[in-house]
Amino acid sequence: MAVVREFTLPDLGEGLTEATIVQWMVEVGEVVAVDQPVVEVETAKAMVEVPCPYGGVVTARFGAEGAEVPVGAPLVTVAVGAVPDDLAGTGPSAHGSEAGAPAGPADAAEAGSGNVLVGYGTSAAAARRRRIRPGGTGPAAGASRPAEQVAAGQDSSGAEAAGAPGAGPVAAAGARTGANGSAAARAAEAGSRTVAVISPLVRRMAREHDLDLREVTGSGRDGLILRTDVECAIRTRQEHATAGAGVTDAVGAAAAAPTGEERIPLRGMLGAAAEKFSRSRREIPEATCWVDADATELLAARRAMNVPGAPKVSLLALLARITTAALARFPQLNSTVDTKTQEIVRLPAVHLGFAAQTDRGLVVPVVRDAHARTVEDLSAEFARLTETAREGGLSLAELTHGTFTLNNYGVFGVDGSTPIINHPEAAMLGVGRIAAKPWVHDGELAVRQVVQLSLTFDHRVCDGGTAGGFLRFVADCVEQPALLLRGM
């Protein structure tokens, strides 16, 4: 007998609490296999294809493309064990399964694979089981229809369902919504309800603004309080505290805004980057120092390495190797600050992030254990991660847990910058363009290849002497690459 299983947005890891639907990969009425990707979503970190742990007929989709979905909200419902009309003669029917037919693939599909994503399972307790009535008006009737007939009944308001009007998953979803609303009302009346918050970020934002989360109404599933809810509550309170004249002026300015203005929501990677930049500036007392260096010898060394038939060595890989050697001398900069315990945590391994510009914005892939890699290995890993970033295929593991960032903004044709530190790291090395400039070399004026280097660092982890020593060592190695041989 077929049952309808509800698949919700799983925990995608790294404390992410919501995702944006980018593209649906299945249609209502389509037969899906166990662990088949059903939707592509964009999180604050990357694009992710979400596989469904159930096999059967898709009876409903929840959320339009571009909609933001909180973790735990339903994505699709699948009629497990339902057989479409065109396949009815090739396998056991729902009646056969109900009558006690031997367990087959449908049973395995009903059980779920358990292989979804981080922190998510397919246990029986988490599933919503509904019996499908053969020949009735429930989901089974809609699931047994051809896909093109089912698709014709899609609801553009957010949930797309198969079945007769007023029945099936849409009605079930409405019933669930009503139940959730009743539960939320009862909890609110109790006065001592548990605050529905998952994200530590949401709690911290509320704490920093002295906001009582019990006064915030969550817009997520089952009243889950999202970051947007807290931000809205903070804005509302600030607006109420503003003088009447100020509020009137603000409203008048908004009404007089140009009609051609464009508003871009801070969601997904854009919103995550904005939050990280803001947090870095709020928490990190940063300082920057810089120096010009003659990179002529470094470029000559690279040409000597790139002999025909040998793997190509990139300039970024040489700079990365210099950076890891400098961090070995000045480990204070390969650290982070634990604000909860008020401790500086020095990290044993160098996981080197590097800024990469893509069509979807700026991302920072991370090279694991960069200190233990050769120049050739670093060059190959930079090339792989850059290509994967441009294709939008970087995993969360490849975008997180960096300890130091190398930012080659010279590719934009600029000399210098004072970048924002990639929180919670403690420093970032910036590299400007390499350009031919007049330079005093061996006591004579000559045209040399000059680059500007900058170091932005967290003043809590070290003083100016350490930062200056680090940057001077990097500049010396750029000018005389043979210095690296001393430490090998």
- Residue pair 448/296 in contact (Cβ under 8 Å)? The answer is yes
**DSSP assigned state of 415:** S
The residues, any chain, with a CB within 8 Å of residue 81's CB and separated by 6 or more, are 1, 2, 3, 56, 94, 97, 106, 107, 109, 110
What gap in Å lies between CA 175 and CA 47, rounded to an integer? 32
**Residue 287, strand partner residues:** 457
| Annotated catalytic residue within 95, 209, 441, 459 | 459
Active site annotation includes 95: no
Nearest Cα residue to 44 out of 265, 273, 197: 273
Question: Angle, to 10 degrees, between the axis of helix 315-329 and the axis of helix 464-479?
Answer: 140
What is the signed CA dihedral for 205, 206, 207, 209, rounded to 10 degrees? 90
DSSP string, 250-291: HHHHHHTS-TT-------HHHHHHHHHHHHHHHH--EEEEEE
Measured in residues, the chain has a length of 488
Q: Which two tokens stand for residue 181?
A: 């609303």
Q: Which two tokens stand for residue 304?
A: 């000597």
Catalytic residues: 459
